[in-house]
């Protein structure tokens, strides 16, 4: 990547896409997908599969995803793998190789056409190893990404957009990605040859899932574990949740700064804790559960995003499985600061990459959270037991 003001960084003749970082660095390439421009934080994801799920995960709102796996788009796209049909996910992506024709029996369309339909911008032909290394050394930068089939770009204007964008710290994005109205979730997990399963008709404990930007597969896993699920918007008041008389409340994943979303979410979570209602939080929900219990959160240098993150079980209560390592799917740029956990909170999981907090349990309460995504999509299923643990708490 080079400085756009430098004479050593001319626009290649065939360049139809560009990424301009806030520090003035620029990467040229071939644009695909939607035409136009967008601004966001550049991150990287190390998963080898599941690019469609990644791009439609609401937790990636306002982010430009750099895929470290070079062959993105090679299995095409299909409607079954979309993680959220109604809310925005990533604004764009950066890939190494040109998108090739899909080769998968489940494919119903190309990645290029799908991105265009979804209004997301793609940029191919970038040295993603160099970009990933830059993020690891200097942190996740703000940037503007643009695609124009005619190759006409206003680099100073794109640079200005990148520099003036405020960044994710202090930004509440749950309001942007949450569902607008409550609804009952129907359907269980997907299986080959059968598609998505149906929810059983027998009596199931009622779980209210607060949607801060949830992936659909979370709701499916709650159903598979035996729950009846009602999804409610992020700003649903405590009184409305209590009026539903839930057996338990789920706190979903989502984008943005947990401290910002926590301005309205944390008082609700505290009220639920006071009411002794069982709670289970994932990712953003986990972070805000930590804040409600007295801990603090912080912006990470580069974040954790991928489907191969090792997490170890720590603390008491694990029995023979103490110390067991789960391979997990992650997507977060903020984390609970383990050093700020009060005595009333037990740390239950830690990352083996950097030692950061990946799980908590509130002492004396049926309330716990994990930083990773046990529903996967994409990723391993090592942690499905957490859904069963939560539903098993409900009476």
Residues 336/290, Cβ–Cβ less than 8 Å: yes
Annotation says 203 is catalytic: no
Annotation says 150 is catalytic: no
Whole-number pLDDT of residue 131 = 97
Instruction: Give Cα separations from 150 to 17, 36, 146 (angstroms).
Output: 10, 11, 12
Annotation says 373 is catalytic: yes
Whole-number pLDDT of residue 36 = 98
The dihedral built from the CA positions of residue 285, 288, 293 and 299, taken in this order, carries a sign that is positive
Determine which one of 179, 286, 309, 373 is catalytic.
373
Query: Nearest-CA neighbor of 19 among 141, 119, 118, 138?
Result: 141
DSSP state of 148: -
Residue 296 has pLDDT above 80, yes or no: yes
Residue 8 has pLDDT above 70, yes or no: no
DSSP calls for 215-278: -HHHHHHHHHTT-EEEEEETT--HHHHHHT--SEEEE---SB-HHHHHHHHHHHHHHHHHTT--
Residue 26 has pLDDT above 70, yes or no: yes
Query: Nearest-CA neighbor of 212 among 167, 184, 249, 165?
Result: 249
Instruction: Give Cα separations from 314 to 26, 245, 343 (angstroms).
Output: 43, 33, 16
Whole-number pLDDT of residue 188 = 83
Whole-number pLDDT of residue 203 = 84
Determine which one of 52, 53, 326, 375 is catalytic.
375
Work out the mean pLDDT of the chain and round it to a whole number: 95
pLDDT grade for 198, boundaries at 50, 70 and 90:
confident
Residues 6+ apart with CB under 8 A from 2: 8, 9, 25, 26
Total Cβ atoms within 10 A of residue 195: 10
What average pLDDT score do residues 302-331 get?
96
Strands (E), the chain: 17-21, 26-33, 36-45, 63-67, 92-94, 121-124, 142-147, 183-185, 190-191, 195-196, 206-211, 228-233, 248-251, 279-282, 297-313, 325-336, 345-351, 357-362, 367-370
Angle between helices 258-274 and 284-292 (to 10 degrees): 60
Residue 7 has pLDDT above 50, yes or no: no
DSSP calls for 271-321: HHHHTT--EEEETHHHHHHHHHTT--EEEEEEEEEEEEEEEEE-SSS-GGG
Residues 213/277, Cβ–Cβ less than 8 Å: no
Residues 6+ apart with CB under 8 A from 1: 21, 25, 26, 27, 127, 130, 131, 134
Instruction: Give Cα separations from 300 to 8, 228, 333, 337, 366 (angstroms).
Output: 33, 35, 5, 10, 28
Domains of the chain: 17-164 (3.50.30.20), 174-393 (3.40.50.880)
What is the largest distance, in Å, between two alpha-carbon atoms of the chain? 70
What average pLDDT score do residues 195-209 get?
86
The residue among 190 and 204 whose pLDDT is bigger is: 204
| Rounded Cα distance, 367 and 227, in Å | 17
Query: Nearest-CA neighbor of 270 among 205, 344, 327?
Result: 344
Determine which one of 283, 309, 326, 349 is catalytic.
283
pLDDT grade for 192, boundaries at 50, 70 and 90:
confident
Residue 5 has pLDDT above 80, yes or no: no
| Rounded Cα distance, 118 and 81, in Å | 14
| Rounded Cα distance, 21 and 123, in Å | 14
Strand order in the sheet with 248-251: 183-185, 228-233, 206-211, 248-251, 279-282, 367-370, 357-362, 345-351, 297-313, 325-336
Whole-number pLDDT of residue 2 = 53
Q: pLDDT, tens digit, for every residue of 203-260?
A: 899 999 999 999 999 999 999 999 999 999 999 999 999 999 999 999 999 999 999 9
For 54-58, 172-176, 185-189, 195-199, which range has the lowest pLDDT when averaged over its residues? 195-199
Residue 117: strand, helix, or coil: helix
Residues 367/394, Cβ–Cβ less than 8 Å: no
DSSP state of 161: H
For 180-184, 194-198, 214-218, which range has the lowest pLDDT when averaged over its residues? 194-198
Residues above pLDDT 70, as percent of the chain: 98
Whole-number pLDDT of residue 195 = 76
Whole-number pLDDT of residue 194 = 79
Whole-number pLDDT of residue 1 = 60
Distance between terminal CA atoms of the chain?
57
Whole-number pLDDT of residue 6 = 39
Residue 5: strand, helix, or coil: coil
What average pLDDT score do residues 16-27 get?
97
What average pLDDT score do residues 97-116 get?
96
Whole-number pLDDT of residue 311 = 98
Q: Do you know the residue count of the chain?
A: 395
pLDDT grade for 395, boundaries at 50, 70 and 90:
confident
| Rounded Cα distance, 125 and 141, in Å | 20
pTM of the model: 0.95
């Amino acid at each position: 990547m080079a400085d756009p003001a430098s004479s050593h960084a001319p626009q290649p003749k065939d360049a139809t896409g560009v990424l301009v970082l806030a520090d003035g660095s620029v990467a040229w390439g071939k644009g695909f997908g939607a035409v136009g421009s967008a601004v966001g934080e550049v991150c990287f994801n190390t998963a080898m599969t599941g690019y469609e799920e990644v791009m439609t995960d609401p937790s990636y709102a306002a982010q430009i995803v750099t895929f470290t796996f070079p062959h993105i788009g090679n299995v095409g796209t299909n409607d079954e793998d979309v993680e959220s049909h109604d809310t925005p996910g990533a604004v764009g992506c950066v890939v190494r190789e040109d998108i090739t024709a899909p080769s998968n029996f489940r494919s119903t369309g190309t990645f290029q056409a799908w991105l265009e339909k979804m209004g997301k911008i793609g940029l191919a032909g970038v040295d993603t190893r160099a970009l990933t290394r830059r993020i690891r050394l200097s942190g996740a930068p703000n940037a503007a990404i643009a695609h124009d089939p005619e190759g006409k770009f206003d680099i100073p204007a794109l640079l200005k957009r990148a520099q003036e964008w405020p960044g994710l710290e202090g930004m509440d994005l749950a309001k942007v990605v949450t569902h607008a109205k409550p609804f009952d979730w129907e359907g269980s997990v997907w299986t080959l040859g059968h598609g998505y399963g149906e929810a059983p008709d027998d009596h199931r404990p009622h779980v209210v899932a607060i949607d801060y930007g949830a992936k659909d597969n979370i709701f499916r896993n709650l159903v598979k574990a035996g729950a009846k699920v009602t999804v409610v918007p992020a700003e649903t008041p405590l009184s409305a949740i209590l009026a539903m008389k839930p057996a338990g409340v789920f706190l979903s994943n989502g984008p943005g700064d947990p401290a910002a979303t926590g301005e309205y979410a944390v008082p609700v979570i505290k009220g639920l804790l006071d009411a002794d209602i069982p709670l289970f939080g994932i990712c953003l929900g986990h972070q805000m559960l930590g804040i409600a219990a007295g801990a603090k959160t912080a912006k990470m240098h580069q974040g954790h995003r991928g489907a191969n993150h090792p997490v170890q079980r720590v603390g008491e209560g694990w029995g023979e499985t103490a110390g067991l390592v789960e391979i997990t799917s992650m997507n977060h740029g903020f984390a609970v600061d383990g050093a700020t956990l009060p005595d009333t909170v037990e740390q239950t999981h830690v990352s083996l990459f950097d030692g950061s907090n990946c799980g908590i349990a509130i002492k004396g309460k049926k309330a716990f959270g994990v930083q990773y995504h046990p529903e996967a999509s994409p990723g391993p299923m090592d942690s499905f037991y957490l859904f069963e643990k939560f539903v098993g708490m409900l009476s």
